[in-house]
């Protein structure tokens, strides 16, 4: 069976980066993985802080997707590794989430995000599902 997730309130919503499960990175507390991931797009420290303190993951995503502030030149090269590290930290930080992820066994995990053909599968199912694949890699890492 395949595990699909997308919104925070549906089954496996905890797998979304928008879920309220914070992580500590770079000596700071980030309210969600989304806050951390979006902030890493920028070299501007004050803009990073604006994203870190955004009142919701949705607002953090909006700030991170704005191009009023330039993003780092190497973003496309580093974004997968940054996402993996942040998601791994989330599941190492929250024991209940770790249990939930391990309970999925060997099943495929899919971010059913209609508008996202990179991290999710997009509207027609042809997206790359990078986040789902990262969750599977994190699950493997947690078993070691």
Ligand X SMILES: Nc1nc(O)c(N)c(N[C@@H]2O[C@H](COP(=O)(O)O)[C@@H](O)[C@H]2O)n1
Task: Give residues in contact with ligand X (CB under 6 A).
Answer: 16-18, 34, 37, 64-65, 111, 113, 115-116, 119-120, 131
What's the closest the beta carbon of residue 42 comes to ligand X, in angstroms?
12
Instruction: Give the nearer residue to ligand X in terms of CB position, either 5 or 144.
Output: 5
* DSSP-assigned states of every residue in 25-89: ETTEEESSHHHHHHHTT---HHHHHHHHT-SSHHHHHHHHH--SSPPPTTHHHHHHHHHHHHHHH
Instruction: Give the nearer residue to ligand X in terms of CB position, either 13 or 140.
Output: 13
- Return the closest-CA partner of residue 96 out of 6, 12, 2: 12
What's the closest the beta carbon of residue 79 comes to ligand X, in angstroms?
7
What's the closest the beta carbon of residue 111 comes to ligand X, in angstroms?
6
Instruction: Give the nearer residue to ligand X in terms of CB position, either 8 or 92.
Output: 8
C-beta separation of 32 from 22 below 8 A: yes
d(CA 81, CA 129): 15
Instruction: Give the nearer residue to ligand X in terms of CB position, either 81 or 144.
Output: 81
What's the closest the beta carbon of residue 24 comes to ligand X, in angstroms?
18
């Amino acid at each position: 069976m395949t595990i699909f997730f997308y919104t925070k309130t549906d089954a496996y919503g905890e797998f979304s980066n928008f879920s309220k499960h914070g992580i500590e990175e770079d000596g700071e507390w980030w309210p969600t993985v989304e806050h951390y991931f979006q902030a890493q797009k920028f070299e501007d420290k004050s803009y990073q802080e604006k994203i870190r303190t955004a009142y919701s993951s949705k607002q953090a995503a909006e700030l991170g997707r704005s191009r009023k502030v330039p993003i780092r030149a190497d973003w496309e090269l580093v974004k997968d590794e940054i996402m993996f590290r942040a998601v791994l930290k989330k599941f190492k930080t929250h024991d209940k989430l770790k249990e939930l992820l391990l309970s999925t066994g060997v099943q495929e995990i899919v971010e059913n995000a209609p508008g996202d053909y990179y991290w999710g599968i997009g509207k027609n199912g042809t997206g790359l599902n990078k986040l789902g694949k990262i969750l599977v890699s994190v699950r493997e890492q947690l078993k070691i």
